[in-house]
Amino acid sequence: MSDKLRKFYITTPIYYVNDKPHIGHAYTTIVADVLARFHRGKLGRDQVFFLTGTDEHGAKVAEAATKANLSPQKFTDQVSARFKDTWKNLAIDYNHFIRTTDASHEKIVVEILKKLKDSGHLYDGDYEGLYCVGCERFISESELVDGKCPDHNRVPEKLVEKNWFFNLQKFLPKIKSAIESGGLAIYPQTRKNEVLGLIDKQALPDFSISRSKQAVPWGIDLPWDKDQKTYVWVDALSNYITALDYPKGKDFEKFWPADVQVLGLDILKFHAVYWPAMLMALDLPSPKKLAIHGYFTIDGKKMSKSLGNAIDPDDLVKIYGAEATKYLILSQFSFGQESDIKVEDFSVKYNADLVNGLGNLVNRVTNMVEKYLAGDIDIKNWPSDLVGQEEIGNLRFKEALGLIWQLIQKDNALIDENKPWQLGASESSGDKAKLKKLLQELIMDLYIIAKSFQAFMPMKSQAIVDIVEAKNVQKPTEPLFPRLNN
C-alpha cells in the first residue's frame, strides 16, 4: 500500500469523570499524542485520527453529582471540561474529544444495542451482586475494605436482579486465535500472556450489559426494556466507533480498525476480550494493536486519594512548561514496564537534560557560529537521517529519547575535545577550515536532534530548526529551557 493510502487511528481510553485528571491519565494521553504527531509527520495530518474523551454515565457519577449538588449533566460538563483544560495545558493535539453523554454517541449506542439483540448475542438472566444501600448501587469486591463499603462502613447485601447478558463465551475461541496469530496484537508480551491465561482458565463468564434503573439511574435506556439502563461496557467501549460515526460515516470507513489503542492494565480484560467480542458480534474487525501500560506508583507507593500523592499534571506544567513535562514523564520509564514516578527526579532531569544538556548545546554552538563565522554556516544539504524513529514507532519512547540524548552528549564532548575557541583564535587557514567543518557538523547535529524529538516537543523542535536554518545564525535571546527559580 502506498503511503498516501495509509492511515493511523489511535485512541486513549475515555476517562471516568468521577476523577480529576492525574498523572496516569496524562501518561496515556501523552503517549497517544506523541504517536499521533509521529504518524502525522509521516502520513500527513488528514491520515491520522487521535481520539480521547470522557466516560460520563453510571451510578458513581450520579452519586458524585448529588454530593456536589449538581445535576449529573452539569456535573459531567464541569469534570469533562477539566480534562479538556489539562490536555490544552499539556499541548495535546487530539482530533476529537468524545463524551458518552454526547447525543450522537447515545444515538449510535442504541443502534448497536439493537443490532446485538437482533443478531441473537444478548439474553436475559439473573445478575447476583453486592449492593450497598448507602451507595444505592452494586459495588465490586475490589472496592470493599474489610468486607465493607468504605463510604458507608456497612456490609453490602447480596442482591439478585434481572439483567441482559452478552454471550461472551461463544467468541472466546475466535478471540484466542486472533491474539495468538497477532491479528490482535497485545503489547507488551506479558500482557498478551495474561489475557491468553484468562481465556484458558475459563475465567471469563458472559457479562451483563444492563442494570436496573434503580441500580444505575444515570445512563442510556435499553431500547427494548424500559426498566433497564445500559451498563458501562457497551456504552463506554463503543466510543471508539461512535466517534467515527459508525456504521456509515466517512471517518469510520477510513479509520477503522484502530491501529493502536493505548490503555492501562486495570482495563486490559475489557479491551482485550469484551471489546473484540462485541466487534465480532457486529461483524467488525478487531483493533490491530493494544498497548498496555502498568499501574503507576509515586515514589514507590501506590497512587491513592487517601495518601494524597496523586500528581496533578497542571502543577507540572506550571513548573516546567507543557513540552518539558511531556519529556520528563516519558523519559522516566519504558512503556509497559513498572511505572514508578520519582517526583524528585523531575527537577534533576530538567536541569541535567534540558537546561544543561540540550539548551546549553544550542547556546554554545550558535554562539560560536555567530562569533567565528559571523552567522554564516553555509549548509548545502540538510541531513534526513533522524535518530530513534524506529523506537518511537514501536512504543519505545524512553529508548528513543535516550538515543537522541546520546547525540547531545556526543556533541558536547566533541566541543570539549576540539576546543573551537583555540581554533577561532588561530591565524592558520587550516585551523579556520577545521573550525568551520566542526561547526557545520554541530549545526547539522542540532538539526537532527530537533527533528528527531519533533513528536515529543514540537514547539522546541521548531524553535531550534528555525535558529539553525536561518541565513544568519544567532544565539537565541531567550533560553530554550529557563532555569528553575529555586
Element (H, E) at 42: helix 23-43
Residue among 148 and 301 whose Cβ is closer to Zn ion: 148
CB atoms near residue 245 (< 10 Å): 14
Q: How far is CA 342 from CA 301, 315, 322, 335, in A?
A: 10, 15, 18, 16
- Active-site entry in 152, 174, 318, 437: 152
Q: How far is the CB of 158 from Zn ion (least distance, A)?
A: 15
149 tagged catalytic: yes
Q: For Zn ion, which stretch binds (CB under 5 A), given 53-61, 124-132, 170-178, 313-321?
A: 124-132
| CB-based contacts of 5, cutoff 8 Å, min separation 6 | none
Backbone φ and ψ for 104, nearest 5 degrees, come out as -65, -40
Backbone φ and ψ for 282, nearest 5 degrees, come out as -95, 5
Residue among 134 and 197 whose Cβ is closer to Zn ion: 134
Q: How far is the CB of 135 from Zn ion (least distance, A)?
A: 3
- Member of 149, 316, 324, 439 binding Zn ion (CB under 5 A): 149
Reduced to 3 states, what is the DSSP secondary structure of residue 462? Answer: helix
201 tagged catalytic: no
Q: For Zn ion, which stretch binds (CB under 5 A), given 148-156, 199-207, 294-302, 437-445?
A: 148-156
Helix boundaries (H) for 374-396 = 389-393
Taking CB under 5 A as the rule, does residue 134 contact Zn ion? yes
318 tagged catalytic: no
271 tagged catalytic: no
Taking CB under 5 A as the rule, does residue 135 contact Zn ion? yes
- Active-site entry in 74, 302, 371, 419: 302
Determine the Cα–Cα distance for residues 337 and 333; give it in Å rounded to an integer: 7
Cβ distance 387 to 404 under 8 Å? Answer: yes
Taking CB under 5 A as the rule, does residue 152 contact Zn ion? yes
Q: How far is the CB of 151 from Zn ion (least distance, A)?
A: 4
Q: For Zn ion, which stretch binds (CB under 5 A), given 146-154, 341-349, 351-359, 467-475?
A: 146-154
Per-residue contact flags (x/-) with Zn ion for residues 79 to 118, judged by CB under 5 A: ----------------------------------------
Taking CB under 5 A as the rule, does residue 151 contact Zn ion? yes
| CB-based contacts of 185, cutoff 8 Å, min separation 6 | 192, 288, 289, 290
Dihedral of the alpha carbons of 220, 260, 243, 88, in degrees to the nearest 10: 100
* Catalytically active residues, by annotation: 22, 25, 132, 135, 149, 152, 302, 305
Residues at the interface with Zn ion (CB under 5 A): 132, 134-135, 149, 151-152
